[in-house]
Amino acid sequence: MSTNWLDFGAGIYALLGGSNIGVIISEGRAVMVDAGLDRSVSRKALREIEALHARLEALVLTHGHADHFGGAGWLAERGVPVYAPPLEGAIAAQPLLEPLFLYGGAAPIAELRGKFTLAQESVRRVEPLIPGPLTLAGLPLTLVPLRGHAPEQLGVAYGETCYCGDVVFPAETLARHPILFCTDLDAWLETLAGLPALPYTRFIPGHGEPVAEIAPLAALNAARLQEIRTLTWEALTEPRESSEVLRVVAAAYDVTFAAPQFYLLALTTLHAALTSLQRAGAAVVEMDANRMLWRRT
Ligand SMILES: [Zn+2]
């Protein structure tokens, strides 16, 4: 068995990699949580399940980012039913939506067509999920709302374990990518504030190592989001376009975007911060000579 296949006992497993995959097995029936970047990763997880003489009966996607669902199409072709929150599942069914969102709805540039932002295989049919209890493959699961990083992200809890998608990033990732990808900053902060009270003793995030205590990582991620929001507000010393604001915020973190896709991912986060400021009445947007300018109130 591979060294990054973790067995926590009681039918709880994880395959750690570029993005992590969760597996729950009981009485020979298995549920997988997320499918990895591509078919090579999901195939690896499937082999581990088969080596345990279990049958994969369901795949649950936490959210519609290609590094988490890229391998789902391959599993679906093999007859594995795929489940996801509706908006996230729409992206798994139509992977082009992800680079379309990142490029403001226009035909995406070549740089957004790599497999990290455009999954190479789609899932023909995705069953919609809502938060709450759900039995899949005979396993009593709880679907936990974890909105913010992605609009409808869900965690999957079984017993005292919660596979929690990208609700937190490890410290190393935050150091490497200070402007973490965010679609709704307020929703994410609310989610992070509620995380420590969740009744789980093992959290398996989509990236990095599993942790017993989620509070420190929740605090770290929340602090970064708050900081980005503050830096965004501070950048509005004069009315600015969002791209100018991003330049100021990136400079504060000493970030230089090496390619357009990294810039566009960060711009989404910056837009989320501006929306948050608008909701709070701390900033307004207005047109001026065909410039869409943000200014403090
Ligand atoms: Zn993600």
Distance 260 CA to ligand 1 centre (A): 18
Give mean pLDDT, residues 181-193.
Answer: 98
Residue 236 lies in a domain: yes
pLDDT, tens digit, 9 for 90 and up, residues 12-44: 999 999 999 999 999 999 999 999 999 999 999
How many angstroms separate the alpha carbon of residue 69 from the centre of ligand 1? 10
Q: How far is the CA of 242 from the centre of ligand 1 (A)?
A: 23
What DSSP letter does each residue of 26-82 carry, written as one string? ETTEEEEE---SSHHHHHHHHHHHHHTT-EEEEEE-SS--HHHHTTHHHHHHTT--E
Mean pLDDT score across all residues of the chain = 97
Tell me the CATH number at 140. Answer: 3.60.15.10
Domain that holds residue 274: 227-296
- Residue 117: its pLDDT value, please? 98
For the stretch 48-57, pLDDT in tens is 999 999 999 9
- Asked which of 124, 150, 166 is the last residue of a domain, the reply is 166
Phi, psi at 115, each rounded to 5°: -75, -10
| Ligand 1 centroid to residue 290 C-alpha, Å | 34
Residues 162 and 234 placed together within one structural domain of the fold:
no
What is the 226 CA–ligand 1 centroid distance (Å)?
19
Q: What is the mean pLDDT of residues 254-281?
A: 98
Boundary residue ending a domain (141, 166, 191): 166
Q: Is 275 within the bounds of a domain?
A: yes
Percent of the chain with pLDDT over 90: 99
Res. 130 pLDDT band, cuts 50 70 90: very high
- Give yes or no: residues 162 and 239 share one domain: no
Question: What is the 201 CA–ligand 1 centroid distance (Å)?
Answer: 22
Is residue 234 located within the same domain as residue 151? Answer: no
Domain count, the chain: 2
Q: How far is the CA of 156 from the centre of ligand 1 (A)?
A: 15
CA 238 to centroid of ligand 1, rounded, Å = 33
Has residue 290 been placed in a domain? yes
**169/217 Cα distance (integer angstroms):** 7
Residue 277 CA to ligand 1 centre (angstroms) = 23
Q: How far is the CA of 27 from the centre of ligand 1 (A)?
A: 31
Residue 48 domain flag: yes
- CATH number, domain of 235, equals 1.10.10.10
Q: Determine the distance separating the centroid of ligand 1 and the alpha carbon of 81, expressed in angstroms.
A: 21
Give residue 41 CA to ligand 1 midpoint distance, Å.
Answer: 16
Does any domain span residue 175? no
Same domain, yes or no: 117 and 243: no
Pick the last residue of a domain from 133, 166, 199. 166
CA 104 / ligand 1 centre spacing (Å):
18
pLDDT at residue 1 in the model: 47
pLDDT, tens digit, for every residue of 51-99? 999 999 999 999 999 999 999 999 999 999 999 999 999 999 999 999 9
DSSP code, position 240: B
Q: Ligand 1 centre and the CA of 67: distance in Å?
A: 7
Both 128 and 39 in one domain: the answer is yes
Identify whether 187 is part of a domain: no
In angstroms, rounded to a whole number, what is the distance separating the alpha carbons of residues 144 and 199? 11
Does residue 262 fall inside a structural domain?
Answer: yes
pLDDT at 248: 98
Q: How far is the CA of 150 from the centre of ligand 1 (A)?
A: 7
Torsion of CA 267, 269, 143, 39, to 10 degrees: 30
In a domain, 148, yes or no: yes
26, 121: one domain? yes
Ligand 1 centroid distance, CA of 169 (Å): 10
Check whether residue 157 and residue 33 sit in a common domain.
Answer: yes
Helix (H) or strand (E) holding 9: strand 5-9
Domain co-membership, 120 together with 17 = yes
What percent of the chain stands above pLDDT 70? 99
Of the candidates 248, 242, 247, 251, the one whose C-alpha atom is nearest the C-alpha of residue 277 is: 242
Same domain, 34 and 145: yes
CA of 8 to the centre of ligand 1 (A): 24
Indicate if 247 and 158 belong to the same structural domain.
no
| Ligand 1 centroid, distance to 167 Cα (angstroms) | 8
Distance between Cα 204 and ligand 1 center (Å): 14
Q: Are residues 18 and 141 in the same domain?
A: yes
Asked whether residue 140 falls in the same domain as residue 237, the answer is no
Answer whether residue 3 shows pLDDT above 80.
no
- Give, for 205, the enclosing helix (H) or strand (E): none
